Structure 1
Amino acid sequence: MHKPFIRAACYALGASLALAVPAAQAQAADPVHVLVSQLDLEQYKATIKGLTRFGDRRQGTQRNRDALDWIEAQLKSYGCANIERLAYDFTQPAPRPANAAPRPQPEGGRGGPAGQGGSTLFGNRAPTGVNNDPMLQADERIRALDAEPAPAGTSKRHDIYCTKVGKTHPEEMYIVSAHMDGMGFGEAANDDGSGTALVMELARIFSAAGVETERSIRFALWNNEETGLNGSRAYVEQRRDLQGLESPKGSGKYPEPKWLGLIQHDMMLWDHGMPVPKRDPQGRPVLDAKGQPVFESPKEQRLEADVNIEFQSNSKLADGSAKLAWFFHAANGKYATNYPAVVGPHMTNTDSTPFMDLVPSISLRENERGMHIGAGWDPNWHQPSDVFTTYSDKDFLLGLNAAQTTLAAVAQLAGAKVSK
C-alpha cells in the first residue's frame, strides 16, 4: 500500500475521531440526552407486565383498586414526591338489554362538543367494538382475573398522581398523563397499560437524585376513561379554579400549579397498518357468511410506523396546542431512536379532551384515533387479545419511542438539569 494513501487514511480516521469526541462530549453535557438515555426497553416492558397482573383493571372493581395501590407503591419506590389521590363519585349505568336502542351520548360523544371528532375513515376497514363476553378469553387465568363486573349504582373512584416540584417556578406545571383502567376481558396491556407505564417511567426518571426542573411536572393516572373520561373530567372540575394559588399563604407551596400544557398517552404499541384481506393456506381470500372479504391486521409492526401526536383543531386553544404538538415533533426528531413522529389535528376520545379548551393539550398514541383506530386498524382494541404476549419487541419499541419523545420535550419545557 502506498504511504500517501496510508497517511490520507490516518488523517481521515483522525478527523472522524476528532468529530466524534466533541459529539460525545456534547451529548454528555446535554441534560435532555442524559435523561432520555435512562429509558430502557426491558424496564418499560416490565412496568407494563406489572400492570397486567391486574387483568383489564376495569373501573370500580377490586382489580382496579389493587392496580391503583400497586401504582402508588411503585411511585413511592421511585422517590416521586407528593403522591395524592383525587376522589370522585361515579354512577355505573344500568345494564341494557341486547336489543335496546343505543344509549344517548353527550353532545359530540366522548370526544367533546359536536364537530370535534376524528377524521374521515378510508381504506380497508375491520370490525370494531367492545368485547363483553368473558368466554372469548381463552386463558382461564385472565378470565378469572377479569370475572368481577363493575358495580351497579354510585361508588367512589380515584385518580392518582405525583408531582416533581419545580425549583424556580413551582407555581407552573406540565401534566403528563394516561388512563389506568381498561376493558374487554384481556390485560389492557396496550389500552392503556402502555401509556400508564410510559408515565410511570417518566416519573421514575424525573424523580431520581440529581434531577431538578425549573417548573413542576405532574404525572397523572386517570380512572374511568373507558366510561366517558370521568376521572379526568373530575380532576378538571375539582382543580381548575385552584391553579396558581399558594397554600398556605407565604409557604411557597402550590397544591395546583398553573397548567402550562397537558400531554396524554393512550395506546402506544400497535401501528401495523391498514387491515389486509385474510387468506387461507392455499392463498385464497377468506369470505364471511355474506360472501364479503374478511380483513386482518398485518402480523409485524410496519417499518413506517410512527408516533402520532394529535391536537384538536376545533378547540379554543388550537393554536397553542398545535405549537405544543410541533415542539414534541422536533423533540422526537432530535432524541427518539427508531420511529419518527407525525402531527395530526384530530385529537378525540381521550383524557386530554376535558383540558383542551383550558390549556394547550395534545395526545400521543399509536395511530390516528379518528381514522385508523375507528376503521379497525388495531384488532386488539377492547378485545381479549390485548394481553402482554400479543406484542413483540418491535411493538414495545414504538411505545418506548413515544416515551423518549415526551421525556425529551417535557425536559426542555420544564427546564431540566442533571447534576453529576
Structure 2
Amino acid sequence: MKTSIAPAPSLFLAALLALALPSAQAQTAPAPSPAAAAPDPVAALVGQLDLGRYKDTIRGLARFGDRRQGTERNRKAIDWIEAQLKSYGCATERIRYEFTPPAPRAPGTPRPTGTGGGRGGPSGQGGSTLFGTRAPTSVNENPLAQPDERLRALNAEQPDPKGGPREEVYCTKVGSSRPDEMYIVAAHMDGMGYGEAANDDASGTALVLELARILNAPGVTTERSIRFALWNNEETGLNGASAYVAQRKDLQGIESPKGSGRYPEPRWLGMVQHDMMMFDHGMPVAHRDSSGNTVTAPPPEQRREADVNIEFQANSRQAEGSQKLAWAFRAANDKYASDYPASVGPHMTNTDSTPFMDLVPAISLRENERGQQIGAGWDPHWHQPSDLVSSFSDKDYLLGLNAAQTTLAAIAKLAGARLQQ
C-alpha cells in the first residue's frame, strides 16, 4: 500500500505564497493608461468659427448696398464673392442664364407672399396662420426712403426692366473617396429694399463663405463632395436656383471624361439653404415709440427663447428624406451650437431650396418660420431701407453664427470630414 507524506508546514506556506503572488502583483500594479481618445474633427472645425469674422464678411457684402439683381453693384458683389472663394483654395465656376422678368403687376395688385415674391414651388407655399398680434409687411420700392445719402447713391441704379443675362458663382470641395456624391450648401447673394441687405441675405451668404473657408483649409478632407453656392435672382422668384436645377440636374453622377474619376455634377444627397439668419425678437407687440405714438412691432432686443429654424416642406416629393435631414441638423445643433437651440418645422417655402425639394432632400435654415412668422411682421427690416449692418446687435449676429455652427457640424459629419494629424 502506497502511503502519502504531508509536506512540512514551512514548505506548504511557501507554496501558497508562490501561487498567490502573481494575483497580488496584478492587483497592486498600475493599470496601463488607456489610449488617448481621438479628437473630434467636427468640434475642431466648429471651433474655428468666429463671431468677428462672420460680422466682417457681412460688412464686406454690405459695401455693395442691396446687391439688387441686374445692376453693377450686383455684378461687383459676385466678383467679390468669387475672389473670397478662390482665396480659400476652392475652385469656382459660374452659372449663366437669361432672366425674363414677370409681367408687371396691375395697379393695386398685392405682391405675392414670400421673399421677393418668390413662389412656393410645385407643392405650394406652405406655412401656417399665426393667431396673435400681426404687424404689416411690405417691400420698399422707393429709393428715396433711404435716408443715408451715400447708400441712396450706391443703390440708385435700377435693373433693366427687360431682364437679360445673369450670373451666379459656386465652388466645390471634392470628396476624397466619394467624389460622385455631394451636399449643396447655399444662400442667395442678391437683395432689395434700398438698404444693405445685411440680414436678407448677407447673413446667409457670409455663413456659406465661412463654411467654405473652414472646409477648404489645408489638412481638411471630406469623403463626399460639398458645393458652396451663392444664388442670384432669389428676390425675383428663385430664378438663379431654378436655372441651376434646369441646367445641371440631368448631369448628376456622370463621370467626365469617362474613367477620369471626375464628376462635374456629383449626385445630390441633400440641399441646405440659408436665408435671413439673425433677427428673432418675437411676435410684434403694441407699445409707444419715442414720440408717444402707439406702434406694433417686435421688441427691440433678441428674445431669450430665440432659435434657429430648420424647415422642410411636408408635402414635397422628398419629404421623408428632407425630414431626416432636418433632424440630423437638429442633432448637430444640440451637440455643437454654443448659444441658441434649433427647432424643426414642416413649412419650408419661398426660398432657393424650393426648386430642389422634389428632387433631393432639401431644408432651409432661417431666423423665423417663413410662412408663419416673417409673414406676420416678425422682422421689420425685411426688404426695408433699415436692413443695415448697424441695425443688428451682437446677439443677432450670434444667432447667425449658431446657424453656421449647426450647418458646419451637420455637413462635416454627413460628408465625412477628417483633419490630418
**Per-residue Cα deviation, 1:313-350 (whole angstroms, up to 9, x for no partner):** 00011010000000000000000000000000000000
**For 1:138 and 1:416, how far apart are their aligned partners in 2?**
47
SS in 1 for 2:169: strand
**For 2:403 and 2:50, how far apart are their aligned partners in 1?**
12
Question: How far 1:102 sits from its partner (Å)?
Answer: 4.7
Q: Does residue 79 of the first structure (1) align with residue 89 of the second (2)?
A: yes
Q: Does residue 166 of the first structure (1) align with residue 167 of the second (2)?
A: no
Question: How far 1:117 sits from its partner (Å)?
Answer: 1.8
Paired position in structure 1 for 2:218: 209
Equivalent of 2:131, from 122, 130, 151?
Answer: 122
Paired position in structure 1 for 2:238: 229
Paired position in structure 2 for 1:395: 396
Question: How far 1:49 sits from its partner (Å)?
Answer: 0.2
Paired position in structure 2 for 1:356: 357
Amino acid at match of 1:49: R
SS in 1 for 2:372: helix
Closer, same or farther: CA 159–151 of 1 in aligned 2, 3 Å: same
Question: How far 1:297 sits from its partner (Å)?
Answer: 1.6
**For 1:127 and 1:395, how far apart are their aligned partners in 2?**
22
**Per-residue Cα deviation, 1:74-100 (whole angstroms, up to 9, x for no partner):** 11111112x000000002346556x35
**For 2:247 and 2:100, how far apart are their aligned partners in 1?**
17
Structure 1 segments of 4+ aligned residues over 2 angstroms from their partners: 92-97, 99-106, 113-116
**For 1:122 and 1:227, how far apart are their aligned partners in 2?**
29
Q: Is the 8 A contact 1:247 1:254 kept in 2?
A: yes
Paired position in structure 1 for 2:420: 419
Question: How far 1:136 sits from its partner (Å)?
Answer: 1.1
SS in 2 for 1:219: strand
**For 1:224 and 1:400, how far apart are their aligned partners in 2?**
25
Paired position in structure 2 for 1:40: 50
Paired position in structure 2 for 1:306: 307
**For 1:377 and 1:164, how far apart are their aligned partners in 2?**
36
Query: Number of residues paired by the alignment?
Result: 385
Closer, same or farther: CA 413–61 of 1 in aligned 2, 3 Å: same
Paired position in structure 2 for 1:101: 109
**Per-residue Cα deviation, 1:112-134 (whole angstroms, up to 9, x for no partner):** 13544211122111111110111
Question: How far 1:280 sits from its partner (Å)?
Answer: 4.6
**For 2:290 and 2:238, how far apart are their aligned partners in 1?**
43
Paired position in structure 2 for 1:68: 78
Paired position in structure 2 for 1:178: 187
**For 2:218 and 2:301, how far apart are their aligned partners in 1?**
39
Q: Is the 8 A contact 2:255 2:262 kept in 1?
A: yes
Closer, same or farther: CA 100–120 of 1 in aligned 2, 3 Å: closer
**For 2:168 and 2:212, how far apart are their aligned partners in 1?**
16
Closer, same or farther: CA 134–419 of 1 in aligned 2, 3 Å: same
**For 2:89 and 2:274, how far apart are their aligned partners in 1?**
22
Q: What is the RMSD computed on CA atoms of the aligned residues?
A: 1.9
**Per-residue Cα deviation, 1:229-275 (whole angstroms, up to 9, x for no partner):** 00000000000000000000001000000000000000000000011
The aligned runs of 1:127-206 (5 Å cut-off) are: 127-206=136-215
Q: Is the 8 A contact 2:270 2:362 kept in 1?
A: yes
Q: Is the 8 A contact 2:118 2:351 kept in 1?
A: no
Closer, same or farther: CA 53–105 of 1 in aligned 2, 3 Å: closer
**For 1:387 and 1:219, how far apart are their aligned partners in 2?**
25
**Per-residue Cα deviation, 1:4-63 (whole angstroms, up to 9, x for no partner):** xxxxxxxxxxxxxxxxxx9xx75x700000100000000000000000000000000000
Closer, same or farther: CA 69–122 of 1 in aligned 2, 3 Å: same
**Per-residue Cα deviation, 1:146-179 (whole angstroms, up to 9, x for no partner):** 1001112131111210000000000000000000
Question: How far 1:374 sits from its partner (Å)?
Answer: 0.6
Q: Is the 8 A contact 1:122 1:375 kept in 2?
A: no
Closer, same or farther: CA 182–109 of 1 in aligned 2, 3 Å: closer
Q: Considering only CA atoms, is the larger Rg found in Structure 1 or Structure 2?
A: 2
Q: Percent identity?
A: 72
**For 2:144 and 2:243, how far apart are their aligned partners in 1?**
34
SS in 1 for 2:338: coil
Paired position in structure 2 for 1:247: 256
Paired position in structure 2 for 1:273: 282
**For 2:216 and 2:321, how far apart are their aligned partners in 1?**
28
Amino acid at match of 1:159: E
Q: Is the 8 A contact 1:121 1:374 kept in 2?
A: no
Instruction: With the length of structure 2 as denominator, give the TM-score of the two structures.
Output: 0.88
The aligned runs of 1:316-355 (5 Å cut-off) are: 316-355=317-356
**For 1:384 and 1:116, how far apart are their aligned partners in 2?**
26
Q: Is the 8 A contact 1:121 1:370 kept in 2?
A: no
